[in-house]
Structure 1
Amino acid sequence: MKTMKKWNWKQWPVSQESTRHQIEQVLHSNRWAITGYWTGQNSMEQQFAEKFADFHQVDYCLPTTNCTSALQLSMEALDIGYGDEVIVPALTWVATVTAVLNVNATPILVDIDPHTYCIDPQKIEHAITDRTKAVIPVHLYSSMANMDDILSIAQKYDLFVIEDCAQSHGAEWDGQKAGTLGDIGCFSMQHGKVITSGEGGALITKRAEIYKRLDRLRADSRARIQKTDLRFGDMEIVPNEVVIQGNNHCLSEFQSAILIDQVNHFEEQNKYRNEQALYVNEQLQKISGICLQTKYPKNKTITIYSYCIKLDRDIIQKTPQEICAALIEKTGLGTFFVHPSYPAVHQNPIFCPWTKKRYPPEIAKTESYWRNLQFEHAERAHEETVVFHHSLFLNDREHIDYFLECLTSILTDAG
């Protein structure tokens, strides 16, 4: 391999001069939260909500503190709680499952499609009982779940569908954006996401009655009042028509301002990432022993969040952990950028509901119960998959070629 200069990789998040301008507007606005007072202008939170709703061509968007709170609020708005079951994939970030626990419902894990890494619709149908109230498909890494089959099953059994879109901003299924196909779509704006404010989240829905409940659940049972009734210094979020107990899940004005700027730059960045990913696809297909994450034909517009390569362990003897360690050593990148797939939820050390007294024992269950569950494909993903962060695809072609050179040498080295 050629000796080259020290490589300066594209960092994430990416900020612009426009980002600083947005933050400064909040700094000098005298309003840093939607629970602050009316200043005569729409809050940044409301501006972001309108922009994100327009982006998805839906009527309603509600910003939240994070995607976990978005998922929790979704279930509360749909009156899901104790005694109910919610079907979730066995391969996802643990927050999808802990959100179910947080409303005292029972998460029912099912296995994934080994090619897309998304929940297997056939396994969903087998897991349905008379207590099942909803399914949460997760659009994982760079692929969307099979929404046609999932929606058909949901209609057949009268189930709600809550899309976990934490990793799929802007992806499309048959021309409809992720998050718009189910009853509610939930998004993450955490540091690593393709649209980020460090922490943050959002919900979208087409249904007014769901939005009305979400609005009150998100702000301690308070809701926004008509601006025609406001004077400078008045509270815009008030306990008006209290119908349901809420909690505080409000996004700050600083985060909302950043997200407005992030949405403005998203499509340009996503187009560039996808172009680079197509090039990487072509190069990696030349290497024996690896295959790429599959997309369903209707998932024509994709979002690269985490780019996955799946190893044929009969050909490539190294483990994902060994490959990642070697890549980090060669490229100078860290574990934020290169890492194995998630462990299956039931095997993830940080999934340990039995340690929390807030969960009823019949829901938290025991360590032995969770750890002894078996989901073949979800478990194998951690043993045979390497994941690259989307920001790598914002680098120029010279950086991409160097990364591929490093990866190829590691994969093809028999030692």
Structure 2
Amino acid sequence: MAAEVQMVLYEDDSVQVQYVDGSRLQLSPCGSEFLFEKAPLVSAHPLEQPERIRQRTHFVISTYREQLQRALDFRNSFATCPFLSESIIPSERKKHIFIDISEVRWPSLDMDDRMICMQNGTVKISSLDGHAYLCLPKSQHEFTVHFLCKTSQKPDSSRVLSEKNNHAKKDKLIEKTGKIYTNESLSGQRLKKKDNALHCQIMKSKEPLEKKSCVNRSEGREALHSLGTKHTYVYTWVKQRWCVASCPDEWKYPLSLALHFHSKISNVSGIDVNITQSRILTSDVSEERGKEVSVLPRALLLSCPVPHLHRWNFCDSLSQRPSDEEEYSYPELVKVVWYKGITYRLTHKNMNSIEIYPGDGSVFKSEGAYFGNYFTYYSIREGSGEVS
């Protein structure tokens, strides 16, 4: 299995992955389809097109399962709505829950038991129900949020049809059970009307009937119970990474708690971890206090309603092509790039900017109106916990 060299997430949440052996994978924006392009053979003719395999994500074969799973994990870490196919999620990451989790409640400012500071200085805020938690590192440029999310479901029409079928099965079982009780009561009334001379004979003939009806009742109850247990939801933990400066609405309140707790710890310990940007962000998100309930992101559907709109154009960003050749360029803006362990996050909203995360806790952030005009380097001083 070839290792990844580069993974790119575009603004439309499509993903392109390039591997060491030259093969490539592209994931549709909705995540429901993928295209795998095999590496060209050394002996292949220059005009020979590489072999391509296009499949539905939910029905991926074992050959591409691991590569597709890693590509989806990368996509779900930075996309607004995850795509979670139950067929490719490892069994150890699945959780069967009987309730529908659609929102979480966060603690108030005075509930310090839900806010902890770990040894590396990261502040962790946990929801009251334990279904989500947010982690904010010392640098306070990026935060991660973990939450339970229901796996991707079939379209609504299929769900409605399956629910109708389940209700019909339940109605039939209830009707069957009711008939058993009705037959018992009718047989009892008829027995009472019989002569006393035939009473003993009738009672003897009734014994197997009662045993049979009891068996039928128990079978009916077991069938009803089995139908009830089938209505469990499959959940999995989803990890998302967000920039503090562009925090989504559903995470603004827990982020404000984390920033407030960071400030509280720094005041007690005497360590100045609040950089100028963090002070501004703290004042911005402080207005979110009081909104303790967050609506969790929902996973996308298993199938896409418009698969014909998927475009399978690879952008060969690693090749040394002349700058005037744009026929193979991807029409979407780049949002996140992972290259050999280093993450590059690009922002195109108010001002174009780029943040570089080498993976050691430090951050390079571009300053100025253009990408890379100049960079500011933020690092954590070992032993002191200060941000420089």
Same fold per TM (> 0.5)? no
Query: Which one has a larger percent strand, Structure 1 or Structure 2?
Result: 2
Please say which structure displays the higher CA radius of gyration.
2
Measured against the shorter chain, the TM-score band is under 0.3
